[in-house]
């Protein structure tokens, strides 16, 4: 089918999502991918200030009402097809392959979307949790699973609202895989008629102090065990994380709206979904890190390794950034992950096509500096974006090296399963394109508890106090968010 496009009023993606959320019976499973940009002026400024931060910073994508829902938990995928009544299927097959059957990417679609300068016009969108890696590798089950959310929640969406901040345009788009053009036009009229009304959900509130699953002493003990593994030659690097959690109530979308005011990032997301029992799940992501992008078979990944806190004084801030870029320890840590990802991508890319196109690039964010590298390659003709995702999952930048052994060690040292944290959020289009983040700086709201993780890579010459402080630096905006909503009067 041909691409169809209809103009809508130019508004931020978050504004469109707010409208869809107010009509949950017609627009269930709404999701938002944000680029962290607002206007063409902002984009121009960001381009001038930091070229790397601007990449992918043009579009917002809003979807709702999927034609199919995939909910994977405990080695089974429940596939719900939208119909009256809904059709349910339970499969023990590979979850990536199950999604692929519904996508059937077409080369002609890729050319159409490229000509229209659109990133997405329908396909799969959702989250792939860190623990979905258990479907790829045999893993021990040691960490407590006290937040039993599904390991994968993905919808197949036949239409999308795409906001182009560069052109200051908004369009409803579809490739009409699962609907008629008449139904699409009716949807366009419906969206154009929606007006915003006050949110009827109770205000978001934090009801408890932050609970840390690794205090400073427990972190130090785990840190020393990592050092012992490294000294024994068992591994080279381990990403050790701690979890923060609070009791909450009310409208999680309000928390996301506040979260994005504290810190913008290139790969932001808000997902309002549910498990097979109807238990609501909200995911709030301010991720700065691209995991995998595919455009016309061209692959890119941008691992982050190396972090320093920002300083309010410009001179001191510049000194801190300089120290990061020139740190031998952080460079070594970065190179380890670059090598790991080169190997992962190489499994599904043309021989000789995988190259490191940037090494040790500096990215600046609201509260931290990051060191980023860029790796690119070309998919083989027999491989797909989903095949690439599976081959590289979970991302090596948040496990350590070698990957499987690092994941085993993480499972033995971290008290709780990671769930969405360090998994991936993003889309795989009907045209074969893909863009996904590493789900760091990501909060999960489930059963009136909000959880958030922060971690960092530990290598042979890491310092325990500095590594522990780095987790707090990375969590600083979440801690600020909790403080904001802990006072009912704000």
Catalytic residues: 289, 305
* Token duo for residue 63: 């979807």
Rounded distance between C-alpha atoms, residue 37 and residue 193, angstroms: 26
Strands 368-378 and 400-401 turn out to be unpaired
* Token duo for residue 195: 């007006």
Query: 43 with 82: CB under 8 angstroms?
Result: no
* Token duo for residue 441: 């700086």
The contacts of residue 116 (CB under 8 Å, 6+ apart) are 3, 5, 173
């Amino acid at each position: 089918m041909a691409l169809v496009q209809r103009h809508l009023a130019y508004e931020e993606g978050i504004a469109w999502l707010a409208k869809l959320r107010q009509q949950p019976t017609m627009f269930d499973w709404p999701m938002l991918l944000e680029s962290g940009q607002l206007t063409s002026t902002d984009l121009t400024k960001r381009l001038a200030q930091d070229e790397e931060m601007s990449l992918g910073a043009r579009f917002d994508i809003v979807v709702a009402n999927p034609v199919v829902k995939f909910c994977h938990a405990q080695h089974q995928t429940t596939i719900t097809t939208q119909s009256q009544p809904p059709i349910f299927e339970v499969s023990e097959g590979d979850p990536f392959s199950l999604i692929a059957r519904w996508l059937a990417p077409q080369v002609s679609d890729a050319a159409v979307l490229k000509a229209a300068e659109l990133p997405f016009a329908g396909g799969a969108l959702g989250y792939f949790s860190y623990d979905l890696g258990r479907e790829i590798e045999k893993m021990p089950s040691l960490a407590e699973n006290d937040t039993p959310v599904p390991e994968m929640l993905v919808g197949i969406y036949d239409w999308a609202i795409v906001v182009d901040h560069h052109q200051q345009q908004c369009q409803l788009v579809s490739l009409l895989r699962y609907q008629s053009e008449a139904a699409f036009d009716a949807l366009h009229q419906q969206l154009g008629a929606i007006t915003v009304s006050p949110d009827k959900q109770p205000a978001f509130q934090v009801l408890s102090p932050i609970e840390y699953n690794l205090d400073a002493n427990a972190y130090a003990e785990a840190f020393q065990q990592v050092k012992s593994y490294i000294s024994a030659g068992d591994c080279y690097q381990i990403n050790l994380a701690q979890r923060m959690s609070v009791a909450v109530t009310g409208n999680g979308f309000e928390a996301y709206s506040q979260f994005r005011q504290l810190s913008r990032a290139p790969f932001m997301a808000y997902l309002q979904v549910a498990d097979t029992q109807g238990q609501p799940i909200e995911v709030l992501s301010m991720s700065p890190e691209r995991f995998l992008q595919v455009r016309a078979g061209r692959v890119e990944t941008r691992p982050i390794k190396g972090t320093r806190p920002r300083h309010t004084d410009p001179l001191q801030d510049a000194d801190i950034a300089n120290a990061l870029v020139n740190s031998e320890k952080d460079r070594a840590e970065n190179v380890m992950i670059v090598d790991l990802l080169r190997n992962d991508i190489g499994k599904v890319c043309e021989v000789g096509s995988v190259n490191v196109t940037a090494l040790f690039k500096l990215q600046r964010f609201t509260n931290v500096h990051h060191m980023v590298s860029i790796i690119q390659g070309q998919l083989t003709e027999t491989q797909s974006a989903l095949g690439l995702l599976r081959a590289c999952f979970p991302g090596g930048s948040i496990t350590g090296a070698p990957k499987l052994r690092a994941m085993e060690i993480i499972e033995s040292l971290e008290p709780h399963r990671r769930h969405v944290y360090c998994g991936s959020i993003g889309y795989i289009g009907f045209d074969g394109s893909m863009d996904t983040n590493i789900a760091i700086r990501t909060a999960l709201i489930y059963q009136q508890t909000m959880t958030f993780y922060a971690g960092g890579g530990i290598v042979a010459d890491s310092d325990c106090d500095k590594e522990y402080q780095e987790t707090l630096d990375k969590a600083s905006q979440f801690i600020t968010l909790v403080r904001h909503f802990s006072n009912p009067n704000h």
